[in-house]
Structure formats: structure tokens, C-alpha cells
Amino acid sequence: MQTFTYERVRTPAEAAAAAARTPGAKFLAGGTNLLDLMKLEIETPAHIIDVGKVGLDKIEPTPAGGLRIGALVTNTDLADHRTVRRDYGLLSRALLAGASGQLRNKATTAGNLLQRTRCPYFYDTNQRCNKREPGSGCAAIAGYSRQLGIIGTSDACIATHPSDMAVAMRALDAEVETVKANGTTRTIPLAQFYRLPGQTPHLETTLEKNELITAVLLPPPVGGVHIYQKVRDRSSYAFALVSVGAILQQDGSGRIAVGGVAPRPWRVETAEKLLPAGAKAFTAQLLQGARPTKENAYKLALVENTVAAVLNEGKH
């Protein structure tokens, strides 16, 4: 790990301002991803800004009837919150499907959204990776790609986003609230939060430099049956090969977001109009334009089969 300087701030605005005046700064919350990357020297911040005491740790109702989830709410507290379990069951189920209890106790809401890919070529500094070193190439494309992306990818990157929580948030139409270094705030729909890789896979979100996430906003609950199904190589502490987060209604309509297949939670609202026709029709539209490798082409069928299982579960 390379040396760095450290400071602790008291407010979100102070954190964003500190980042603006210190080149090479990174925000530190739970640290469950950042510290690992620093040990491997994949992340090499010159300065760490500890935001753990800025007070963004509350879950509160909004005037519109939804929820405002502070950026520092832990995954454990969010999954266990009474209102979340009652009205946003998909989110609670997705959180409990991720990581281990110990990690959920430390991992934060904002950190979960911002965690970086678990592509093995990103973690191996002896391999070429455009996310880690822009312009160096992507060793994964001609390498071992069984766990990697089949849609939304590019010739520069086929990595997937690892978050279970983000899949649920996408199905719930969540929004991300932020503060910039000049003190101004904005709200970004999660549908617009993640960038596709294109030729710049190192640019993963639409956050501006030094912009800090302060909260995630959930709209009023929509009811229905909430299901999160995760297919993985082992039953715990494993990232999704394919995951499906669904909110299903009695009339056959619903919302579905898919994880494990793309650089962001993958949801196609136009495909959801085909849900009453069944999993095959829906999946064909959802994955239109997919570019799987020989090693991960199995995910095409796996998505369809998992969606079919979810739709069947929603009927019972």
C-alpha cells in the first residue's frame, strides 16, 4: 500500500470541498472495497477523506411517501429496517443475498453503489485492463470470461457491476442525491447514474469530480410481489452469475432488473411490456444486442430460466 495523508470531516459539504482542494483524494466510508484495492495498489489515493462522521446514517420518510436512505446507512441496518422489509422487500432480499454478515455490518449504501468490478483481470495488475489503466487493453475479452458481461459491454471492457443492492434499487426506480464541491446539490435517477464502458470504461458513473453521494431516494412503494433470485457458484459469499430482482403485479405486469450480465444493473422498461407473454418473449427483448463470449454464452439461457422461475414464484 502506498503512503497517503488523512483527514476526518464533519459535514458532506466539507467533504466535497476537501476533495476539491486536495488532488488525488478519495472518500472513505466503510472501506470494504476501497481498502482492499489500496492494498493491491489498484487504487492509490494521495489523500483519504473520512466521511464516517458526517451524519448521513438515517432512514427517513420523504414528503412524497417514499424513503430517504442516508449514504452511510449500513447494509445490515437497511436490510433490517421495518419499513424496508414491509414496503421494499426486494431491497431487503437483495442486500441479504450479498457478501457476509460482517461485511454488511460495515458496507454503506453509497459504497455499495460505487463498488468496483470483481473482474479477475481488473484485480490482477499483471494483466491489461482499461478500467485500471486506460488505453492498455482488455485481457478479459480473449481470456477467461465465464463470469463476465454479455450486454452493454464494448471492445474496451466486458466487466460486470457486482452490486446486488443496485439491482433492487434499479427496479425500485431509486434516485441518487449528491453534493458538489461548491455546495450545490442534485438528484440523479439510478437509470442515468452508471455509464456504459464504450471506450472509457474507467469512467463508471456520471458523478462529477469530487461529488459526494449523500443519500438514495426511493419513491412511494408500489406493492406487488417482491422477489430477488441470485444464481451463483456457491450458496453464500459469491457474486452473481445472474441475478433477477422483480416486482410483480397480479395482472401480469411488473418490473425486472437483472444483475451479473452488464456493467450496470440491466433493466429495459420496454421489455417489461412483454412480461405477460412469458419469460422467453421478455428475455429476447431484454437481451437484444447481447454480445456474449464463447465462455459466457450460457448466461443467455440462464437469464431466461431465472426469469421464468421468478415469474412462476410470483404466481404462488
- Residue 32 pLDDT grade (very low, low, confident, very high; cuts 50, 70, 90): very high
Classify domain 5-52 by CATH number. Answer: 3.30.43.10
Edge-first strand order for the sheet with 5-8 is 5-8, 47-50, 25-28
Q: What's the predicted TM-score (pTM) here? A: 0.97
Supply the pLDDT for residue 258.
Answer: 98
What proportion of the chain, given as a percentage, has pLDDT over 70? 100
pLDDT digits (tens, 9 = 90+) for 194-224: 999 999 999 999 999 999 999 999 999 999 9
Give the phi and the psi of residue 209 in degrees, each rounded to 5: -60, 130
pLDDT of 266-279, one tens digit each? 999 999 999 999 99
Domain regions of the chain by residue span: 5-52, 227-314
Q: Does domain 227-314 have CATH number 3.20.20.150?
A: no
- Give rounded-to-5 percent helix, strand, coil for the chain: 30, 20, 50
CA–centroid distance for 238 within its chain: 15
Tell me the Cα Rg of the chain. Answer: 19
Say which residue the cell 424496508 belongs to. 84
pLDDT above 90 (res 235): no
DSSP state for residue 262 in the 8-state scheme: S
Q: Which of 211, 201, 131 is nearest to 176 (CA)?
A: 211
The whole-angstrom separation of Cα 308 and Cα 278 is: 7
Mean per-residue pLDDT, 90-105 = 95
Q: 56: which 3 cell numbers?
A: 448521513
According to the model, what pLDDT value does residue 178 have?
A: 97
- Mean pLDDT of all residues in 142-147: 96
Taking residues 114-140, what's their average pLDDT? 97
Spatial distance between the Cα atoms of 298 and 313, rounded to a whole number of angstroms: 23
Question: What is the per-residue pLDDT across 149-193, written as a single tens digit (0 to 9) for each?
Answer: 999 999 999 999 999 999 999 999 999 999 998 999 999 999 999
pLDDT score at 191: 98
Q: What is the Cα–Cα distance from 255 to 222, expressed in whole angstroms?
A: 10
pLDDT tops 80 at residue 97: yes
pLDDT classification of 237: cutoffs 50, 70, 90: confident
- Burial code (b: 16+ CB inside 10 Å, e: under 16) for 80-101 equals ebeebeebbbbbbbbbbbbbee
Query: Which pLDDT value is given to residue 251?
Result: 94
Give the span between the Cα atoms of 296 and 264, in whole angstroms: 17
Ordered alpha helix ranges (H), 156-222: 164-171
For residue 149, the one-letter residue type is G
Cβ-proximal residues to 6 (8 Å cutoff; 6+ apart), any chain: 47, 48, 50
Q: Please determine, for residue 316, whether its predicted confidence score (pLDDT) is greater than 80.
A: no
